[in-house]
């Protein structure tokens, strides 16, 4: 039975208080493939009440009990792995191999990392006569985005449960089906009633209500900086904790001693992955001024080798972007780049040849971009790369850090010690040296307007705990 028109509250699938529906569109066809129920304040009240009622008993469970629950969730997730990937492919337009190997894998990988980190984590510490306890913060509102749905759902739900919290999840209404499948996973795993709840809906009607709810103790939000500011302002009235993972405009410094051809080509691929819809994508490539034209030639060849098309067709590298809104925004920014005098190396406005419907974007590379240009400062969230020149290493570091964001930075060098020295000067929460493999044990989060708090492994668990010091215990 499909649960698309229901919410998961207090261990049961329930109908919304007021029946309202929203079409879910397939971005490859621009047509609806299903509908979901969308909620309102009354549905949030029900879900929060269930989480609040379940909290005292769940908070009192042992670490061993919560570890066992997480392992059951992982097993149930693996049972539905193909269904999760299929849902992501339909709702996001992700090519099916990418949906399997990256999107669905991310949920599995983070569940495994949370379990491993929690097994090694101590919740009680002694300092002299004081015993220090890490206790669950309470009822948590989790608001997740559409671009990496399972990554962000698991990065919030798993550590919250490890900490002993109860949760209400609002997935993105643009890509909600994978969240519904995840709720089915939680039900199959036997999560106690009220510990996990799901309400679908829009940001204003559900997300903001959750953020301001007096019985919510913490909000964990991933999304745009603009929306994050609204969530934080709403939460401020009740002085609840707010953890945020927001936007980015990450620099990729290619140092003169890097393997230039390899570094530029991989930089293009890293920027365009997930159709450019990653907050930590290396969207600003910084290259030595005297090698700028060489970099453009390499980037052009790399971009033009990427096949854009039907996400369910064999050999597709990139599918569409997620929505008409995103498509229009990307098109506007591409036009702005041209108008402001950047060199259009490849790509440009409009759909790729042969694609007449679907929100497909031409993989686009701009050269001779200056730091003041709009495409060097605004988060585009599509397959658009800006290549900038630097005069020397000091200039590269200055340009890289000259942004309101600080989510990630990238450094390429054949000399690891050199790369490390530059990494230490990056004002970003994550720095990636020479395109490393994804590390689910590393902390993830941003400086400046890219947010606060950290996710992944034990870093995420810490965010969902309060610190209690009992002085004179010993």
Tens-digit pLDDT profile for residues 405-449: 999 999 999 999 999 999 999 999 999 999 999 999 999 999 999
CATH number at residue 297: 3.40.309.10
Residue from 54, 153, 63 nearest 115 by CA: 63
The partner residues of 7 in beta bridges, in order of sequence, read 14
Residue 2 lies in a domain: no
Whether 407 and 287 map to the same domain: the answer is yes
The verdict on residue 18 lying in a domain is yes
> In this structure, is residue 1 part of a structural domain?
no
> Is residue 435 located within the same domain as residue 458?
no
User: Is 49 in the same domain as 188?
Assistant: yes
Distance CA 381, CA 356 (A): 21
Average pLDDT, the chain: 97
Q: Judge contact between 135 and 468, C-beta under 8 A.
A: yes
Q: Check whether 457 has a pLDDT greater than 80.
A: yes
The secondary element (H helix, E strand) that includes residue 430 is strand 430-433
Position 1 scores a pLDDT of: 61
Distance from chain centroid for Cα 69: 24
For the segment 199-206, the average pLDDT, to the nearest whole number, is: 97
User: Are the C-beta atoms of residues 175 and 27 closer than 8 Å to each other?
Assistant: no
Report helix, strand or coil for 221.
strand
Active site residues: 245, 279
Q: Supply the pTM of this predicted model.
A: 0.97
Q: Cβ of 472: how many Cβ atoms within 10 Å?
A: 8
Does residue 418 lie in a domain region? Answer: yes
Same domain, 373 and 236: no
- Say if 35 falls within a structural domain: yes
Do 424 and 457 reside in the same domain of the chain? no
Tens of pLDDT, residues 280-315:
999 999 999 999 999 999 999 999 999 999 999 999
Same domain, 257 and 238: no
Number of domains in the chain: 2
What is the rounded CA–CA span in Å between residue 474 and residue 466? 21
Residue 55 located in a structural domain = yes
Q: Tell me, yes or no, whether 309 and 161 share the same domain.
A: no
Q: H-helix or E-strand containing 98?
A: helix 96-98
Same domain, 255 and 385: yes
User: At residue 474, does pLDDT exceed 80?
Assistant: yes
Task: Give the per-residue pLDDT at 154.
Answer: 98
pLDDT at 2 over 90: no
Q: Are residues 139 and 183 in the same domain?
A: yes
Here the CATH number for the domain that contains residue 173 is 3.40.605.10
pLDDT single digits (tens) 223-277: 999 999 999 999 999 999 999 999 999 999 999 999 999 999 999 999 999 999 9
Specify if 286 maps to a domain. yes
- 51 and 105 in a single domain? The answer is yes
* Percent of the residues in the chain that have a pLDDT greater than 70, as a whole number: 100
β-strand partners of 198: 8, 169
What range defines the domain where residue 167 resides?
A: 7-246+450-471
CA distance to 81, 98, 199, 202, per residue, from 209 (Å) = 32, 34, 11, 10
Count the helix, strand and coil residues of the chain and give each as a percent rounded to the nearest 5: 40, 20, 35
Secondary element (H or E) of residue 222: strand 218-222
Do both 231 and 315 map to the same domain?
no
| Residue 353 resides in a domain | yes
Whole-number pLDDT of residue 210: 98
Query: Do 33 and 182 lie in a common domain?
Result: yes
């Amino acid at each position: 039975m499909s649960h698309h028109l229901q919410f998961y509250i207090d261990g049961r699938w329930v109908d919304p208080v007021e029946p309202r529906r929203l079409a879910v569109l397939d971005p490859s066809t621009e047509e609806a493939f299903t509908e979901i129920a969308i909620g309102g304040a009354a549905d949030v009240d029900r879900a929060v009440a269930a989480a609040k009622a379940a909290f005292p008993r769940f908070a009192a469970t042992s670490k061993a009990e919560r570890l066992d629950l997480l392992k059951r969730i992982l097993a149930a997730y693996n049972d539905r792995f193909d269904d999760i990937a299929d849902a992501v492919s339909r709702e996001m337009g992700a090519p099916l191999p990418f949906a399997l190997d990256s999107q669905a894998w991310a949920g599995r990988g983070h569940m495994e990392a949370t379990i491993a980190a929690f097994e090694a984590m101590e919740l009680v510490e002694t300092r002299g006569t004081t015993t220090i306890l890490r206790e669950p913060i309470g009822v948590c509102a989790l608001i997740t985005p559409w671009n990496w749905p399972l990554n962000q759902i698991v990065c919030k739900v798993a550590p919250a449960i490890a900490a002993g919290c109860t949760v209400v999840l609002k997935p993105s209404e643009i890509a909600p089906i994978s969240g519904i499948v995840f709720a089915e996973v939680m039900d199959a795993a036997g999560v106690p009633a009220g510990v996990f709840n799901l309400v679908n809906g829009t940001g204003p009607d559900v997300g903001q209500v959750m953020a301001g709810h007096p019985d919510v103790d913490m909000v964990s939000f991933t999304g745009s900086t603009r929306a994050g500011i609204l969530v934080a302002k709403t939460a401020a009235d009740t002085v609840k904790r707010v953890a945020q993972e927001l936007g980015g405009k990450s620099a990729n410094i290619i140092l003169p001693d890097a393997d230039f051809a390899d570094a530029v080509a991989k930089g293009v691929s890293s920027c365009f992955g997930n159709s450019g819809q990653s907050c930590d994508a290396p969207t600003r490539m910084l290259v030595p001024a005297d090698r700028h034209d060489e970099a453009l030639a390499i980037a052009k060849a790399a971009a033009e080798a990427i096949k854009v098309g039907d996400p369910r067709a064999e050999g597709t590298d990139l599918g569409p972007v997620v929505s008409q809104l995103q498509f229009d925004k990307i098109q506007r920014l591409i036009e702005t780049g041209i108008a402001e005098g950047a060199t259009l190396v490849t790509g440009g406005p409009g759909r790729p040849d042969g694609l007449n419907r679907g929100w497909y974007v031409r993989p686009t590379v701009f050269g001779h971009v200056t730091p003041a240009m709009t495409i060097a400062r605004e988060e585009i969230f599509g397959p658009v790369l800006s290549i900038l020149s630097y005069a020397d290493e000091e200039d590269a570091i200055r340009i890289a850090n000259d942004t309101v964001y600080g989510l990630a930075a990238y450094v390429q060098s054949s000399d690891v010690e050199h790369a490390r020295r530059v990494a230490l000067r990056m004002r970003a929460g994550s720095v990636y040296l020479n395109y490393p493999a994804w590390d689910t044990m590393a902390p993830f989060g941003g400086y400046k307007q890219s947010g606060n708090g950290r996710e992944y492994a034990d870093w995420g668990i810490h965010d969902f705990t309060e610190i209690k010091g009992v002085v004179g215990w010993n």
